[in-house]
Structure formats: C-alpha cells, structure tokens
Amino acid sequence: MKKSTIFGTLLAISLFVLVFGCSGTNTDYQEGNAQETPAGPTIELLSHEIVNENGIIEVKGEAEALTDLSYAEVDVKFYDSEHRLIYSSFTNVVDLKKGDIWLFTVWGPSDPVESYEIQVTDSAF
C-alpha cells in the first residue's frame, strides 16, 4: 500500500471520529446535587496573638464558623526583622457547625520572629 493511501485512510477515519464521535449528548455523566456556595464569609477570625513560651513560638487564636463547614484552615506566615518570609505553617479542623468557636494553635519557627500574617479560610486551596 502506498504511503499516500494509508495517510488518506487515516485522515478520513480521524475526521469521521472527530465529527461523529464527539457530537451528541454524552450519557456517561450522572446527575448530582449541586451545592450553592454561600455568599460572603463562612468563617471569621475573632482573635490571634503570637506567643513565645520558652523559645517555642506559636500563634494562638479563635475563629467562629458563620455557617456549617466541612473544613477550615488557618495559615500563618512568619517574617524576620527585614520582613523576609522565614517560615509558614497551618492548622486545620473538620466539621464545624454554625456558631462553633474554634480554638487554634499554629506552630512557628525556632528562629526569631518580628511579625506574622494570618489568614483563615474554608478551603485547603
């Protein structure tokens, strides 16, 4: 068989699959329950402070669930005196109910810390 005949046959098959194989309704998908994303914040940071007890640095605080949550996370970035990021850490919790107060602790570095930034979220990403 000539190369041009093989190429023409493969091209025709490819076009056929592209046109007819990719059209129509895909019935492989199943219906699911869509959950509406709540508008506005879902968790509120109530308080936080950095604590250095015997050289162990940690950020302690409280956060309140404003709705039922399957997951919540507190992320902390620690900075040195020149505002260079020296460490980051997080803690998380699952299954908070609306109104629950979460007492959290995020462990810090062993290096001296000048400042930190904190964020609370209902997502790991």
Q: What's at 80, amino acid-wise?
A: D
Return the CATH number of the domain spanning residue range 43-121. Answer: 2.60.40.3230
CA dist 75 and 86 (Å) reads: 14
Encode pLDDT of 17-76 as tens digits. Answer: 444 454 444 434 444 444 455 556 899 999 999 999 888 899 999 999 999 999 999 999
And the tokens for 117?
């930034």
Q: So where are the chain's domains?
A: 43-121
pLDDT score of 28: 45
Encode pLDDT of 68-123 as tens digits. Answer: 999 999 999 999 999 999 999 999 999 999 999 999 999 999 889 999 999 999 98
- pTM for this predicted structure: 0.67
And the tokens for 36?
């509406």
Q: What are phi and psi of 107, to 5 degrees?
A: -75, 140
* DSSP letter (8 states) at residue 16: H
